[in-house]
Amino acid sequence: MTEPTRYSTPPVELPLRLDPEPAPVEGCAGCGELAAVRGRARVVGDWTTVSDCNVYMRRHPEGH
């Protein structure tokens, strides 16, 4: 078994994502709905939902 760290360690630095938001595919109802939900979430400041919609849209094109 390993010993626990007994001293301060430097913080972990995560990379900053600067990718543009995914664009909905024209004519796709799923993409359109995700874009609409993302837009409504952005208006009310629900950044978790905005982020979730971006993830779903990035994964969604598998069916296109």
pLDDT value, residue 41: 98
57 residue type, one letter: M
Please name the residue ranges forming H helices in the chain: 29-44, 47-59
Q: What is the pTM of this model?
A: 0.69
Tens digit of pLDDT at every position of the chain (64 positions): 678 777 788 888 888 878 899 999 889 999 999 999 999 999 999 999 999 999 999 888 665 6
Rounded distance, CA 22 to CA 50, Å? 11
- Kindly state the DSSP code that residue 61 receives in the 8-state scheme: G
pLDDT value, residue 53: 95
pLDDT value, residue 18: 83
